[in-house]
Amino acid sequence: MSAITKIKLGISLMLICFTTSLIAQNGAEDDMGTTLYDAYKDKGVKEVLKIYQQSNNNKEYEGMAEPLNVLAYRLMQEEEDLKSAEVLLKAQIEEYPDEANPYDSYSDLLLEMDKKEEARKYIEKSIAIAEKTNHEQNDLIIEAGKAKLAILDNKDKQMNFLVGNWDNETKVFQNGEEVNSSKSSNNISFDSSGSIMIVDHDTPGKKPCCKRVMVYNPVKDEFDVAFMRRDQPNGIYNSKMQLKEVEPDHFEMIEKYTNDNNEEVEVRHDIQKKSNEVEWITYNSKDSGWEKVRSMNLKKKG
For 39, phi then psi, to 5°, come to -65, -40
Q: Do the domains 13-153 and 157-300 sit in the same CATH topology, yes or no?
A: no
What are the distances in angstroms from CA 26 to CA 19, 93, 95, 246?
A: 10, 20, 20, 46
Beta bridge partners of 279: 272, 297
Distance CA 217, CA 253 (A): 15
pLDDT the model gives residue 23: 43
The secondary structure of 191-236 as a DSSP string is ETTTTEEEEEEE-TTS-EEEEEEEEEETTTTEEEEEEEETT-TT-E
Residues 174-213 pLDDT 10s? 999 999 999 999 999 999 888 999 999 987 777 888 999 9
With b meaning 16 or more CB within 10 Å and e meaning fewer, what string describes 4-28?
bbebebbbbeebbeebbebbeebbe
3-class DSSP state of 282: strand
Distance CA 187, CA 165 (A): 5
pTM of the model: 0.73
The matching CATH number, chosen from 3.65.10.10, 1.25.40.10, 1.10.150.120, 3.10.580.10, for 13-153 is 1.25.40.10
Mean pLDDT of the chain: 87
Residue 123 has pLDDT above 70, yes or no: yes
3-class DSSP state of 178: strand
Exposed/middle/buried for residue 207 (C-beta within 10 Å: 0-12, 13-18, 19+): exposed
3-class DSSP state of 180: strand
**Where exactly are the structural domains of the chain?**
13-153, 157-300
Distance CA 34, CA 21 (A): 18
Contact 222, 212 (CB under 8 A): no
pLDDT the model gives residue 233: 61
| Encoded amino acid at 281, one letter | I
Residues 9-50 pLDDT 10s? 333 333 333 344 444 444 434 588 899 999 999 999 999 999
What's the topology of domain 157-300? Answer: Lipocalin (2.40.128)
Distance CA 163, CA 189 (A): 5
pLDDT the model gives residue 135: 78
